[in-house]
Structure 1
Amino acid sequence: MATVLQTTRAASSPLHVTSEIGRLRTVLLHRPGAELENLTPDLLERLLFDDIPYLQLAQSEHDSFAQVLTANGVEVLYLENLAAESLTDAHIRDNLIRQFILEAGVESDCMKAALIEYFRPLSNRDLIDQMMAGVRRDQLGNVRVDSLYDRVNNSYPFLCDPMPNLYFTRDPFATIGQGITLNHMRTLTRNRETLFAQYIFQYHPRFRQADIPLWFDREEATALEGGDELVLSDQVLAIGISQRTDSGSVERVCRRLFEAEAGFETVLAFHIPQSRAFMHLDTVFTMVDHDKFTIHSAIEGPLTVYEITGSRDRAGQVRLKIEQLNDKLEAILEKYLKRRVTLIRCGSGDAIHAPREQWNDGANTLAIAPGEVVVYSRNHVTNQLLESHGIKLHVIPSSELSRGRGGPRCMSMPLYRDDL
């Protein structure tokens, strides 16, 4: 019965997310691929990694994640499959190749031509996999180079960098209501990831006829990342102003949501510290039930939060009203969710357990239904605390996946949830 309901919903609207905890029906994942094997110690900082995951085990752990979702009635879609299926004709495929080469920063005309020839015979799926993995110079064979530029700039091993962060599908775009923010990400390394989402929503048969609202575009000048976007209810959003998301981006999202009258009445902009430990709002704060949240205890005190609402003037133009709130997280959540809430501290707030488990994304959970979440096995102190509060856990292995500094929420982009 669940499958029939799911198919009917997907046929009427491929996107629908009005909460963080509604029963999850469809989700987008990316199974880690050869891009992880192209990480080296010298490239870690450039590619935003702290360590090098072991691919075979990372894939096994990710498969366990997908199996948990599938076993609980969730339709699992894969980024790499959807991207390949979006290349429905030669013109679209050629445009992707040229845009990919441009955004990879390939400046040499000689190497651009060589890359086009290298990509030409690949199947659509092999093409996508190769783009994600990155392209080494030595993969192109002996390319004749005549320019001074090519002779001088030949020491870096990659013509196109790998994209090891792709398995964190939460960030390149985010589903809000029946639309998306197609994000402009903070770093060049990650911003290339949004290219796949652009082609999926523009050309994939599942989405191209749906007239999906775009609350934000990857061509914007300011940064926005999906880990900072939380749908607290069908009326209230939370967006972090963080290391990865700019305040100007929050205003643009608000304006477009209010202009479209998408149902969301309030956006809470959380101004959080700009540090790697607080990279995104969802690394320190996720919703696990109607009235329960996991948190990093460092944000439990007074916060600077901005309430943003919209109204129309006499000319019909949307005007934003912004009010600063200075209160504790608990009080802010209770005011806008209109219920008492419980904050569950990562690592119980202990001086040793909390920072260790926060480093391994103990506060980053994926709700598949109210009071039912996916968590990493290694965060055992937080997990026991969640269970003591009546939360049902689906525990997945995490020794290698966690090396990328992202948890189950980071690794998933819900496309469809039931309303609460």
Structure 2
Amino acid sequence: METGIHNTSEIGRLKKVMLHRPGKELENLMPEYLERLLFDDIPYLKEAQREHDAFADCLRGQGVEVVYLTDLVAESLTGPEVRQELIRQYLAEADVSDARTRESLAEYFDALPDKEMVSAMMAGVRKSQLRTGQARLGDYVSATEDGYPFAVDPLPNLYFTRDPFATIGTGVSIHRMHTVTRNRETLFGKFIFEHHPVYRHAPRWYDRGETSSLEGGDILVLSPQVLAVGISQRTEEDSIDALAETVLTQSKTFRKLLAFNIPKSRSFMHLDTVFTMVDYDKFTVHPNILQQITVFVMELDENHKMKIRQEDGRLEDILKEHLELDHVTLIPCGQGSEIDAAREQWSDGSNTLAIAPGEVVVYSRNYVTNRSLEEAGVRIHTIPSAELSRGRGGPRCMSMPLWREDP
């Protein structure tokens, strides 16, 4: 078993990965509150779990060790005081203003074994779950007066484990998310990287206490020397400044950060919906960025001061220059067809997970893009995705590499 963190590329053979199997948080999605929870639809949990298990089995079949977020958090509760601190911080960040409800929630969590408690925190808590045989009349009245059924909102985006934190080299960035809905997810990463016996010593490149947002879908480890980050709808310039400063000064290998300026819209949510790396010289791409893109090259000068220069050009040329490649193949989602690209980009056709150079996991439904990958010489492993794709994320979004071999 690999211990610690080692992630110096997007394509090095994947040895260990963290997933989150969808749980009851999906059954706490309601049509009235989808927008605030960043969902467009409600996946059917039983089928989503079956598809997710197929994803995990696909990875195991290729020699990848799969670990789960819930287990890592439970293993991080190394003593009663750590457990109580998680409950305290969780309730503080859940914005529970009513003292009686906060007390009831603390009792509810305290009565559960570690793993069940973590799962319950992820699922959210319905007000009806806090009614016990000893409940007071106020517990019933408060549940109906404001019409809102939750004491604590669910965290349905958790199965996209790529975003709350990112592994970069031997270290980790724990993120401040763009939305309140997702920011609570990063609390679990905090406890893993402060208390888990295997991961608590990892260097910290960025922390959730920062004031500007940074999300893992915007971070691509292109090589042991080059990190790419998207300036996006959900990742701000100040965050990239801070990340570049720590990674370039403290990591052992990274020498350059490429900040890609991408459109600030939901369809270009993160950099990994714009392009992903599938081989040393092959990338899947959103067809709308094939013409021109702006990148800011961030490096340290001889005095270890940050210097930034702007480059405008074709993505292909920018990647060739900074990855020192003679040739780059861009594989557009939907084979460039306006209709096929729009449909398959909606279900994350360009959001692939490389498990080795030239070998990727993809959604079966994106068959046009998948055919392009195969024609380019990329080996594909398809997984079912009728329900998982309703959350608007692909195989890369659903996986957090903990250990990759060097490319």
TM-score, normalised relative to structure 1 = 0.94
Which residue of structure 2 lines up, in the alignment, with residue 42 of structure 1? 32
1:166 maps to 2:161: no
- Contact 1:110/1:145 (8 A) holds in 2: no
Which of residues 280, 287, 311 in structure 2 aligns to 1:290? Answer: 280
Task: Write the letter of the residue equivalent to 1:240.
Answer: G
The whole-number CA distance in structure 2 between the counterparts of 1:153 and 1:199 is: 35
State yes or no: 1:370 paired with 2:360. Answer: no
Q: Which of 314, 318, 321 is equivalent to 1:328?
A: 314
Structure 1 distance, partners of 2:321, 2:145, is: 57
User: Is the alpha carbon distance of 1:260 and 1:154 closer, same or farther for their aligned partners in structure 2, counting shifts above 3 Å?
Assistant: same
Find out whether 1:360 has 2:347 as its counterpart: yes
Is residue 399 from structure 1 mapped to residue 376 from structure 2 by the alignment?
no
Offset of residue 262 of structure 1: 2.7
Superposition pairs of residues 111-260 of structure 1, within 5 angstroms: 111-141=101-131, 143-144=135-136, 154-208=146-200, 211-260=201-250
Q: CA 1:145–1:305 in structure 2 vs 1: closer, same or farther (change >3 Å)?
A: farther
Local SS of the residue matching 1:76 = strand
Contact preservation (8 Å) 1:235, 1:266: yes
Correspondence for 1:350 among 318, 337, 355: 337
Change (3 A) 1:71 1:151: closer
User: Post-superposition shift, 1:154?
Assistant: 3.7
Q: Which amino acid aligns with 1:92?
A: V
Question: Matches of 1:150 and 1:244 in 2, distance apart?
Answer: 35
1:4 aligns with: none
- Contact between 2:169 and 2:251, CA under 8 Å: does it hold in 1? no
> How far is the alpha carbon of 1:310 from its aligned partner?
1.1
Shift of 1:144: 3.5
- Amino acid corresponding to residue 245 of structure 2 in structure 1: R
Tell me the residue number matched to 1:417: 404
How far apart in 2 are the matches of 1:272 and 1:303? Answer: 8
Aligned partners of 2:364 and 2:383 also within 8 Å: yes
TM-superposed deviation, 1:300: 1.0
CA displacement, residues 279-335 of structure 1 (integer Å, 9 cap, x when unaligned) = 00001200000000000111111111100001353xxxx411010101110000000
Is residue 2:66 matched to residue 1:73? Answer: no
Kept in 2: contact 1:185–1:223 (CA 8 A): yes
**Aligned equivalents of 1:90 and 1:155: distance in 2?**
36
1:388 lines up with 2:378 in the alignment: no
Identity %: 57
- Corresponding residue to 1:337 among 310, 315, 323: 323
The SS at the match of 2:301 is: strand
Equivalent position of 1:319 in the other structure: 305
State the alpha-carbon separation in 2 of the partners of residues 153 and 253 from structure 1. Answer: 45
Call closer, same or farther: CA 1:307–1:153 in 2, change over 3 Å: farther
Instruction: Output the CA distance in 2 between the equivalents of 1:345 and 1:213.
Output: 36
The alpha-carbon deviation at position 205 of structure 1 amounts to: 1.6
In structure 1, how many angstroms separate the alpha carbons of the residues matched to 2:210 and 2:217? Answer: 18
Q: Aligned partners of 2:131 and 2:41: how far apart in 1?
A: 30
Summarize the Cα distance change of 1:349–1:111 in structure 2 as closer, same or farther, 3 Å threshold. same
How many residues align structurally?
A: 403
CA RMSD of aligned residues (A): 1.5
TM-score (norm 2): 0.97
Asked whether the equivalents of residues 17 and 175 of structure 1 are also in contact (C-alpha less than 8 Å), the reply is: yes
User: Partner letter of residue 223 of structure 2?
Assistant: S
Which whole-Å CA distance do the structure 1 matches of 2:94 and 2:52 have between them?
A: 27
Contact in 2 for aligned 1:21/1:368 (Cα 8 Å) = yes
Asked if the contact 1:308–1:322 (Cα under 8 Å) also holds between the matched residues in 2, the reply is yes
Partner of 2:270: 280
* 1:261 to partner: Cα distance: 4.2
Q: Report deviation, 1:278.
A: 0.2
Q: Distance in 1 between matches of 2:322 and 2:213?
A: 26
Question: Is contact 2:279–2:357 with CA below 8 Å preserved after alignment?
Answer: yes
Which blocks of at least 5 consecutive residues in structure 2 are unaligned? none
CA contact 1:108–1:150 (8 Å) conserved in 2: no
Find the aligned partners of 2:24 and 2:346 in 1 and give their Cα distance: 25
Query: Any idea what the Cα deviations from partners look like across 1:98-121, whole Å, max 9, x if unmatched?
Result: 110111110111111111111111
Mapping of 1:19-38 within 5 angstroms?
19-38=9-28
